[in-house]
Each structure stands twice: as C-alpha cells, then as structure tokens.
C-alpha cells in the first residue's frame, strides 16, 4: 500500500515561481508545518501563498 505524501509549496519572492518548500511528509505533518510557517510569515519572508500539494505533482524534486 502506497502512502500519499504531501509537500508545502510557496511562491518564491525572488523568481515568482511556485516551488516546494519542504520535503514530502504525511498530510497531518505537512499541515502542521504549513501552519507553523504561515504563523511566522512577514514581509521579508522568502515565500508567500503557502499551499499543500501532493508530492507526485512536484515531480522528481525529492
């Protein structure tokens, strides 16, 4: 049985592209990571618009 893995993605303020910010984890762990990152977001953070996406969608990054 294959367990679905998820990553947190965000829009890079440098390139303007959506990139994976974390390594693949379970959905609950990924949600916790996204919430923690979103709580400390500020105007100088490197990523904006954080989102959880399936790890397969990101291709072979990991």
Indicate whether 46 belongs to any domain: yes
pTM for the model: 0.81
Burial 32-48 (b: 16+ CB within 10 A, else e): ebbeebeeeeeeeeebe
Indicate whether 62 belongs to any domain: no
Indicate whether 40 belongs to any domain: yes
Indicate whether 32 belongs to any domain: yes
- What pLDDT digit, counting tens, does each position of 1-17 carry? 567 999 999 999 999 99
Indicate whether 35 belongs to any domain: yes
- What pLDDT digit, counting tens, does each position of 25-60 carry? 999 999 999 998 888 767 778 899 999 999 886 555
What total of structural domains would you count in the chain?
1
Those residues whose C-beta lies under 8 Å from the C-beta of residue 46, and which sit 6 or more positions away, are: 10, 12, 13, 14
Indicate whether 1 belongs to any domain: no
What residues make up the domain containing 18? 6-57
């Amino acid at each position: 049985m294959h367990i679905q893995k998820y990553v947190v993605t965000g829009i890079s303020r440098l390139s303007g592209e959506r990139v994976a910010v974390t390594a693949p984890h379970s959905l609950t762990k990924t949600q916790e990571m996204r919430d923690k990152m979103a709580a400390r977001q500020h105007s100088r953070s490197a990523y904006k618009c954080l989102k959880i996406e399936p790890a397969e969608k990101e291709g072979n990054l990991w």
